[in-house]
Amino acid sequence: MSFPRDPLELLAQDFLQAWQDAHGVATGRAYALSGFDHLAIIIEDSFSKAEHKLAEDQIGEALLRQYAEELLNRICDQMSERIQQVVERKVGISHVNVNPETDQVIFTFKLE
């Protein structure tokens, strides 16, 4: 017997797929965390070995952050409607955080 998957889990997988499509790297794991008026999507194992090497110096890390933040902002814009379908609330403010040290990208949303 198969149980329906959690809608937040499916949303996290949609974000992971959007990140993989935009970024061109087919790795990672995604999780969704939800609170009363906030939603977070965390993608782990999000960078390639080459990107980790690039991020070893300060200039390379800044370039990687800028590149990833641009991709993530585009994904946020694309996924706002999908979020609204799942949580039945509009997205107010969104933010992205890129952390090459922990190999994570994090989307946070304040819901209206």
Asked if residue 1 is part of any domain, the answer here is: no
DSSP 59-105: HHHHHHHHHHHHHHHHHHHHHHHHHHHHHSS-EEEEEEEEETTTTEE
Asked if residue 99 is part of any domain, the answer here is: yes
Q: How many domains does the chain have?
A: 1
Asked if residue 2 is part of any domain, the answer here is: no
Q: Which structural domain, as residue segments, surrounds residue 33?
A: 7-111
Asked if residue 83 is part of any domain, the answer here is: yes
What's the predicted TM-score (pTM) here? Answer: 0.86
Rg for the chain (alpha carbons), in Å?
14
In this predicted structure, what is the pLDDT of residue 16?
94
Give 67 or 110, the one with higher predicted confidence: 110
Q: How far apart are CA 85 and CA 64, in angstroms?
A: 31
Asked if residue 41 is part of any domain, the answer here is: yes
* Domain containing residue 89: CATH number: 3.30.980
Asked if residue 53 is part of any domain, the answer here is: yes
With bands split at pLDDT 50, 70 and 90, how would you rate the model's confidence at 1?
very low
Asked if residue 26 is part of any domain, the answer here is: yes
Q: For 9-63, what is each residue's pLDDT tens digit?
A: 999 999 999 999 988 888 899 999 999 999 999 999 988 888 889 888 899 889 9
Asked if residue 95 is part of any domain, the answer here is: yes
